[in-house]
Structure 1
Amino acid sequence: MTRSPASPLPPPKERRRLREAASLTQAQVAARIGVTRETVRAWETGRTTPRGRKREAYAKLLGELSAPQQDLIDTAETLTPVPTDPPEHTPDAPPPQPKALPTAGLTPAQAFDALYAFCAPALVRQAYLLTGRRELARESVERAFQVAWQRWPEVARDRDPAGWVRATAYEYALSPWHRFRPRYRHPEPPPADPSDRALMDVLLTLPPPYRRTLVLYDGVGLDLPDTAAETEASTPAAANRLLHAREAVAERLPELADPATLHRRLAEVASAERLRAARPPTVRTGSERRASFWTRAAIAFTVALIGTTALTLRTAPTRYEPPVPPGATVQGVPPKMAPGPLSEKERELREKLRGETVSGPQRLVPRAD
């Protein structure tokens, strides 16, 4: 089937980006078009292509999502190169055709701000589902974008810049070292709604790899291979983690046994919290300050190392001094022995010598002068 000129569709990744930018879940998009959530997932991953009236409705919805943000869309498209390998598709649907992306007239700051505007709000909500802490969620996203700005040439040329930043934010949010920080030793107030609080309690009892897999697959909407790649696991391992996570949630909350219901509830819990990300200029300024601090620290450490080396060279000996040889045993010297009690004969000799010192020969008496 050839693509109708009247209803063009953006590439699969652009479809998912438009949905996430509008804070819509796959279930919400499916309800508006009249299809299942799995169908929308297949459209966003490129495995299938919509046809007929479903295609017209999907194209109209994407057009409504992109109309208010056309300038930012053009910026975001420059950040996402077209993949060299076509995604998996059905036999009767043609693979997505490469699309020329505008790249002129964009500064690095503008491109970074566009990526931040699209990804930061959703990433803060996802980090909250991972940690249950609002401040840590904001800090994780801000730190991830600071790292992205420091390595912007690499991130801007990445096939999935949003995925690059998301993986960095997840790694920081799930770091076990946060438990030793004083500000994170005490839990934050839980959600006000009892059902939201129950779901967050279940999520936080899951092991971090299981929790991350569940949020990526049932929350973000990634497919299983992408989830496995982002969690650095094999596809069977990711599927096993997902099944165990769903079983743990269904055991505590039986009403969430349906994946579609779980997906909807995850989106509702994350959207219920007022989680605001910092402004892009603030993030860029913080990144530059952090890079400047570590640069100065590295310079100071280098100077201290050079000074220590110079002092060592200045005070080190200039000629060879042989070490003191170990002691040698001297032959013929009787061993040192402690004095013992005198015998009767030795006592008589001692008394005789004492007496002769005073009344003995003249040569033994000391003279007064």
Structure 2
Amino acid sequence: MPGTLTGIGANGRITLAHGGGGSAMRALIEEVFLAAFAQDPLAPQEDQARLDLAALAQQGNRLAFTTDAFVVEPLEFPGGNIGTLAVCGTVNDLAVGGACPVALSAAFVLAEGLELAVLRRVVEAMAQSAAQAGVSIVTGDTKVVPRHACDGLFVTTSGVGVIRPEHNISIAAGQPGDVVLVNGSLGDHGAAILCARGDLALQTHLQSDCAPLNGLVDALLCAVPDVRCMRDATRGGVAGVLTELAEASNVLVTVNEAALPVHPEVEGVCEILGLDPLFLANEGKLVAVVPASHAARALAALQGHPLGRNAAIIGTLQASAAGQGAVHIVNEFGGARVLTMPSGEQLPRIC
């Protein structure tokens, strides 16, 4: 075996030597990253991934490209870890634009002193999530920085996908009369991360909803090809997506508060801390806007998928009488309030 990490690392931890370009770095790449990600261990290792253009062109007529950095704290939490988050977040950013995810890159910033066992678990989770999504992690980079220069581990992932010609999904495509759906309970990730930090001594069974949504999106698009808009409700939660939708499409979004699917434990955490589940982050939830005539078909498609069993229709789009977009939340008594976004994050470091 080419080098052993336990012999190179100090007590099974990352050292600055692992980023120095020598044998320690080679052993790290081969034993941790290539062991998990390489589709063909015997393939030549180049400085770039090479994708077959002809194969991509058979899937669609446009490329989608996205990138995101992940700095969640803690690195591991109920329902996943920073690796799960990195793969699912990038896959979902591609999928909600109507793209079929094809390949990902992954860049790691490792702090001196990081436990190698933690790094292995993160990388294994990334490989498992990529396999679940049907994508490959085809290229990447590793840097090691002095301890305290970063909190253990940061990951940046980028992804390439292919968009089919028939799909033109945009946050600015909403029209009066359209219907708004979500695929399940809101705020699970944000609440799970908050509880995992242990600062508030809250005992719950909450887990992050981290999941690749491309299979769910495929099911929805097969049932309703003319989906107007889709977004994954990550930072800013569903409230952030609805606000952006209202502004970009210049419509009034009216949300039925009683229709919002929220886990009882998330409701309890929010009540204790004065938070709103609409603003909490999700990592396996999307907001979709479809023509009203296709709403029932869209709901059935979502509920027929394992990641959409608790899907619900939560609101409608109307013409904006004020001439600018807005979001109104209507309660069970018919009272309405205007949804306004906070100036900052409710919870820091959630993704």
Q: TM-score, normalised by structure 2?
A: 0.22
Normalized per residue, the structure richer in helix is: 1
Q: TM-score, normalised by structure 1?
A: 0.21
> Which is greater in Rg?
1
